[in-house]
Amino acid sequence: MSLDLGRLSENLEQVRTRIDQAAARVQRNPADIRLMGVTKTLPQEIVQLGREAGLNLFGENRVQEAQSKYSSFVGSPDLELHLIGHLQRNKAKIAVSLFSCVQSIDKLQTAEALNRHCAELGRTMDILLELNTSGEATKFGFPSAEDLWRDCGDIAGLEHLRIRGVMTVGPFTSDTDRVRRAFADLRECLEGLRKRYMELPLDTLSMGMSGDFEIAIEEGANLIRLGTILFGPRDTSAGTHG
């Protein structure tokens, strides 16, 4: 492992400077922007290192990988773990025991499965609704804001889930106008949701990764999800968005 605490702290400091600068460009308070460390494909030591460097919010995109990596941390008051990858219904039970938030809800049925297992454990869980803003068929998420708004009504009726906002993975392209458009679409999706469901605690706009977090902040993101820029490149053969 080539990453050590000094190096990670340096990376974090540089990222925080860029967050500050992006926020300043649009007159936002950088303290309103939460920084998630995405540890998918990385070993457990990286989680420990991240905690020592001051991170308290982590993201994983596979349930089983998260289970083997984070089981010993579950219940730690200073560590929050979110699922940011697609959730299969048959993994919903494990997901409830591991994550405080599932950011990737894109189907009523998945939400129903999660709600059922939450009910069994007598707990409530935060969720975000994922929008596919890129139009890329390989990406998950509700295909349109209209679909998301419609199903939100049924999902909001599930007693053990609390809808906190929306998330997206931006298009993978160097065309920054397209990336910005996708993030603006997600912001507008959240605004539309707030108008339709005024009773919901809709405070989270999760968008922006290593390559596009500054654009996301300029478009209103208050939760950015960073892997590579903090921890270094991943072994790409291990998958990304599965």
Residues near ligand PLP (CB under 6 A) are 38, 40, 61, 84-85, 169, 209-211, 225-229, 240-241
201 CB-near residues (< 8 Å, 6+ apart): 162, 163, 164
Cβ closer to ligand PLP: 160 or 217? 217
The DSSP output letter for 89 is G
Structure-token pair, residue 144:
């349109």
Cβ closer to ligand PLP: 88 or 240? 240
Cβ closer to ligand PLP: 36 or 160? 36
Cα gap 65→59, rounded to integer Å: 11
Minimum gap (Å) between residue 15 Cβ and ligand PLP: 10
* Burial degree of 15 (CB within 10 A; 0-12, 13-18, 19+): middle
Minimum gap (Å) between residue 122 Cβ and ligand PLP: 29
Cβ closer to ligand PLP: 50 or 227? 227
Minimum gap (Å) between residue 228 Cβ and ligand PLP: 3
**Which DSSP helix (H) or strand (E) runs through 113?**
helix 108-121
Instruction: Determine how β-strand 101-105 pairs with β-strand 125-130.
Output: parallel
Residue nearest to ligand PLP (CB): 227
Minimum gap (Å) between residue 119 Cβ and ligand PLP: 27
